[in-house]
Structure 1
Amino acid sequence: MALSPAAGGTPAGPTTSVALDLRTEIVTAGEVAFCLTDAGHLDRDESLAVTGPDGHPLDAREVGLHHHTHLHVVDAPRGELSVRYRATVRLDLLDPAPVTDADRFTDVLPSRYCPSDRVQGWAASEFAGVDDPWDLARRVAAWVHDRTAYTPGSTDAGDDALVPLHTGQGVCRDYAHLTVTLLRALEVPARYVSVYAPGLDPMDAHAVVETAVGDEWRLLDATRLAPRASMVRTGTGRDAADVALMTTLGAETGPFAMDVTATADPDLPVEDPDAVVVLG
């Protein structure tokens, strides 16, 4: 299926281009939901194709979630399932979303993977004496970066933020969960954001954090593996449970393989971890 661009015209400013190919085996037929297209408010040209066994095209119905996150749900028969997504996104047209009163309330609460209530006393002691919200947010992200080793395979989908906190290991999902957890424990609104990230090595889908500073959401990436300025939002939620790349609804799947490429045009930005970056 071809997805309509959010706005017409040929990209003239900086852009990020994304190519994703995903393959899995459907063992038991049922619904499968994907969260892999760029956020619905972005200025983009994109296409999505889902095919079943023998390359037969499958319809994907779109479901809108909070913060312009979109799911695409497929009634998947048994056999091989393939997803092909291509997009080019303009990065210079949107103002960042404001921090609403609802955000200030909901994004300081504990969630499935971010049990902030369990570390409040410790966090208050560890990060005492920092009053400026942006300084506090940067200090938290730097703390997570300095004390966590990026270690593929060190955690699994059931692990919450306390696992990388205790073991000192994780992947981008864990870095994001731990950053969100510590900020919420300090009563700073924070939310989990899935993105495509040019410059990421190894290339994959990526997870970062937005934190509320005044009326503005600012972007944090404790992994420091890619420049934030060329990242493109796909999903936004309380934690990874809200924006899982693939969710089964009655279906049973085997292992999946995914290839992702994300590139910045004209150039990959230079990253300064202390700089203010906002995500469209």
Structure 2
Amino acid sequence: MWLQASSTLEFYIDTPTPFLLMLRPRSGMQQWIAREEYVLSPSVPAVEFTDSFGNLCQRLVAPAGHFTIRTSVEIETADASDSAPGAPFVDIQKLPNDTLPFLHPSRYCDSDHFTEMASSIVVGLPPGYDQCCAIVDYIRHAIQYTPGQGEQNISASQVNEAGRGVCRDMAHLGIACCRALAIPARMVVGYLEGLEPMDLHAWFEAYVGDRWYTFDPTQANLHGGRVAVAFGRDAADVAIYTQFGPPVELLDLKVQVIKTSEPMN
């Protein structure tokens, strides 16, 4: 399907402030970018680089006063997320090198605390994709999805204890459980067509069989219409913006995703 996805971030800044942004999706296996717009107002010099996870990142110094970032992308993306029931677990010695960082505990995915719980969730299931599905089912039934109520990042252990969380929190818990079973798992932040309320969205991917597959504990049915913007070990790696120095005021954040029949003129 074709989507137009856009975001607008409006800030008020007291003093010139360095920013690190992560707002540009890249073309990949299940998405192709046809057209893109990225506007800074007022205009300031920006430098782009690719981080260790392959994300497109932008560095700039925002001036004092009102500062706005507007992005828009027209993109062809899969109309259904791939699934692979029965896809096998990949032995550690056979994993691609770039999946190895996603096996370890990280700041918000304390997988070393979930060995027993993850094992109990997947009892009797063949190692691999089917285990990931069981983890997602556990999260959907054990954790109340509370969109719009996640102000601070918390660990997977805290999410499991609280019994509620936003998409980011539920992704952290899924990642932690997968890693506890030695399945590489990574966080994804991006857009999801039809999300209510509309906002940026987080889900996770697990490496089974011979590739990464999408899992989303917040959705009863794993549908497509996803635009991946950033990948990382957890939320610490995929912040859409990071500012340095005195805190700045985020006045507004708007996200829109529109389904189109073809690229818009």
**Which of the five TM-score ranges fits, normalised by the shorter chain?**
0.7 to 0.9
Instruction: Name 2:119's counterpart in structure 1.
Output: 124
Q: Residue 22 of structure 1 corresponds to which residue in structure 2?
A: 9
1:81 aligns with 2:67: yes
Match of 1:50 among 36, 40, 55: 40
Equivalent pair of 1:144/1:222 in contact (CA under 8 Å): yes
Q: Is the 8 A contact 2:175 2:204 kept in 1?
A: yes
Select the residue among 130, 143, 147 that pairs with 2:142.
147
Q: Deviations for 1:148-193, whole angstroms, at most 9, x for unmatched residues?
A: 1122465432311112201111111001111101111111110001
Backbone CA RMSD of aligned residues: 2.2
- Cα distance change on mapping 1:66 and 1:229 into 2, 3 Å: farther
**One-letter amino acid of the structure 2 residue matched with residue 21 of structure 1:** T
Change (3 A) 1:124 1:37: same
Distance 1:264-1:40 versus aligned 2 partners, 3 A rule: same
SS state at 1:117 partner? helix
Letter of the 2:33 partner, please give it: D
After TM superposition, the score normalised by the length of structure 1 is 0.81
CA distance in structure 1 between the aligned counterparts of 2:225 and 2:54, rounded to whole angstroms = 19
Report the Cα offset of residue 40 of structure 1.
Answer: 5.3
Pick from 36, 43, 48 the counterpart of residue 23 of structure 2.
36
Partners of 1:101 and 1:27 lie apart in 2 by: 46
Contact 1:145 1:222 in 2 (8 A): yes
Contact 1:32 1:251 in 2 (8 A): no
Name whichever of 220-229 and 130-139 sits farther off: 220-229
Number of equivalenced pairs: 245
Out of 126-135 and 212-221, give the one that drifted further. 126-135
The answer for unaligned runs of 5 or more in structure 2 is 83-93
Using the TM superposition, give the Cα deviation of residue 110 of structure 1 relative to its aligned residue in structure 2, in angstroms. 0.3
Matched-pair contact (CA < 8 Å) for 1:197–1:228 = no
Displacement of 1:208 after TM fit? 0.7
Distance (Å, rounded) in 2 between the aligned partners of 1:119 and 1:205: 28
> What is the rounded CA distance, in whole Å, between the counterparts of 2:15 and 2:223 in structure 1?
39
Instruction: Answer yes or no: is 1:59 the counterpart of 2:54.
Output: no
